[in-house]
Amino acid sequence: GAGVSQSPSNKVTEKGKDVELRCDPISGHTALYWYRQSLGQGLEFLIYFQGNSAPDKSGLPSDRFSAERTGGSVSTLTIQRTQQEDSAVYLCASSLAHRGNNYGYTFGSGTRLTVV
Amino acid sequence: RKEVEQDPGPFNVPEGATVAFNCTYSNSASQSFFWYRQDCRKEPKLLMSVYSSGNEDGRFTAQLNRASQYISLLIRDSKLSDSATYLCVVRDYGGSQGNLIFGKGTKLSVKP
């Protein structure tokens, strides 16, 4: 597609429920990233995927968070047993490559998650 | 020490003013540097990359000082549409394996 597409754009869920957030990167972009941004805060790295390599999960805040990327394209971020502190905007980005380049990322418009 | 530090502002300036933002980064091994712009309730968008020799894009000039681990962004002849939060971004080749590390941003408000 022309840009990074994320769905849903807004999600309100009850505490304790599981949620799935979807990201469809720019076609041909091999690197895909998930970040989250809490109100008034900076972007917090969660996880990245590069081609067929094992993902870097070093930013995931707890084992309730997981992500997968199927076929090197679409990615799903899953949050199990959501807590109120999970409320944030979850941003997905993609890039032509990862290391050794000066490419920036292109972000999707994000999913605003509210846990009530 | 935070990896990327910025003055949060806000910087309130009149139209036509020149304004400068500064940023410091902690990882001396960082190799790539960027400025992103984020409008309220929108996603960040790449404004410009920052090169070692400094670079200019229209009214925007970016400078890098590797010795001091310092990056700057200068906006000349500011417009109302420049009002946004400006994020200093560093590619970290340390523990996070080359991911982009974002500062919390500097808020700019340009007034008529």
- One-letter amino acid of B99: N
Chain A within 8 Å of B53 (Cβ-Cβ)? no
The interface residues of chain A toward chain B in range 57-116, judged by CB-CB distance below 8 A, are: 58-59, 91, 98-102, 104-110
* Residue B1: per-residue pLDDT: 58
Q: Which of A33, A101, A107 sits opposite B43 (nearest CB)?
A: A107
* Residue A98: per-residue pLDDT: 60
Give the chain B residue whose CA is nearest to the CA of A39.
B41
Which of A43, A45, A91 is the best substitution to test chain B (most B C-beta atoms within 10 A)? Answer: A43
Cα-flanking dihedrals φ and ψ of residue A86, to 5°?
-80, -10
* Residue A39: per-residue pLDDT: 84
* Residue A62: per-residue pLDDT: 95
Per DSSP, the residues of A39-71 read TT--EEEEEEEETTSPPB-TT--STTEEEEEST
State how far Cα A61 lies from the chain centre.
13
Distances (CA, A) of A73 to A93, A95, A108, B30: 12, 12, 14, 28
- One-letter amino acid of B35: W
Across the A:B interface, residue pairs with CB atoms under 8 Å apart total 51
* Residue B84: per-residue pLDDT: 97
Q: Which residues of chain B have pLDDT under 70?
A: 1-2, 93-98
* Contact state of B36 with A98 under an 8 Å Cβ cutoff: no
* Residue B98: per-residue pLDDT: 65
Chain A: nearest CA to B62, how far in angstroms? 15
pLDDT tens, position by position, for chain A (116 residues)?
Answer: 579 999 999 999 999 999 999 999 999 888 899 999 998 788 999 999 988 888 889 899 999 999 999 887 999 999 999 999 999 999 999 988 765 556 678 999 999 999 99
For B95-109, letters b (16+ CB in 10 Å) and e give ebebbbbbbbbbbbe
* Residue A66: per-residue pLDDT: 97
* Residue B30: per-residue pLDDT: 80
Cα-flanking dihedrals φ and ψ of residue B4, to 5°?
-135, 120
Q: Could you tell me which of A89, A101, A114 has the C-alpha nearest to residue A17?
A: A114
